[in-house]
Structure 1
Amino acid sequence: MDKFERWRTLLERIRDVFCNGNRAELARRIGKDASYVNRLFYPPTKIGAKRIGPEIMEACSRSFPLPIGFWEMNPKEVFPHGAPEGWSVTSMAPMSSQSGDRAETNEPVTSPLARIDFSKIRRLHRDEILRLEGAWIEAAGRLGIDVLAASKKRQIPMGIDLK
């Protein structure tokens, strides 16, 4: 299997594990046009087929909780038991305690931010940081979590000042 076939197989795994096999959902999550993403799955000899390259790999790495070295992994070894623990297949927010109140389940409450490598975020371009902040605010809103209004000096939760 050449690298492009391996990458396509890994992208199929992302689609299946995190998007219920839905190509349109994959496109939405990585911020790409659905028709373009659809062509990434064409057989290499089909007219209009697209190869997976650094841009798609980066978009997936930003949008999904992929392990370090994911794109070099053997597709058979990737997510053998489905989505990583604590992640929903239908949304990229950590799973909430849908079966009941946290107080009743005695689950520890931890911040999802504890799983984020902030040193990598600090290296992002300002526009990418704003996009990430927007995604966090949107996810918080969907979960019914109040979001503080922005002040003149904006500050992202991890302490990166945006002036």
Structure 2
Amino acid sequence: MRLEREPIFNRPILMLSVACLIFISSYSVMAFVSTEELETNWTLTYAGAGESIPTGQATDFHIFLEDELGSSVDQATVTAVFDRPGTVHHIEKGFSRLEGGLYEAEVVFSIPGTWIAMIEARKGNQLYRNQIIFTVEGFVVSETNWDPNDHFHFDQPLPMDIERQIMNVSK
């Protein structure tokens, strides 16, 4: 007597269970391997605190990073997203390492107002996030003088103070 076996592919519940098990296992391994440690004891100092930045000019944006012992954080990868609330800018910049925990990025701001830089620093599996609020002064600059990474456009809804400046310039 010969017994016929049903192929395993004809059992959908079994195949679905095996697929789920493989997916959960691989997700767990990836989550375990790529753990990042959020640093909360590092300190970020903005070198231009209290000063305003002019519109339309390339500005060197400097920050210092220190760890919980006050030692400079060197060899970190530092990035920032610069944004002005009320408008869509989203200027992404990578910072260059200088020395002694000092990092620099060059940015051109196209409109005045209060801006926010959302800073992210990575060193190994350590991740530090912070933000800087600063002031940009001047007039709305023409599109030819914008930062190449600036996603700003005049078709978006604009704050009243910016609309007034644009109207005064076009008269």
TM class by shorter chain equals: under 0.3
Higher relative contact order (CA 8 A, sep 6+): 2
| TM-score computed with the length of structure 2 as normaliser | 0.23
Instruction: Work out which of the two has the higher radius of gyration on C-alpha atoms and give 1 or 2.
Output: 2
Larger helix proportion of the pair: 1
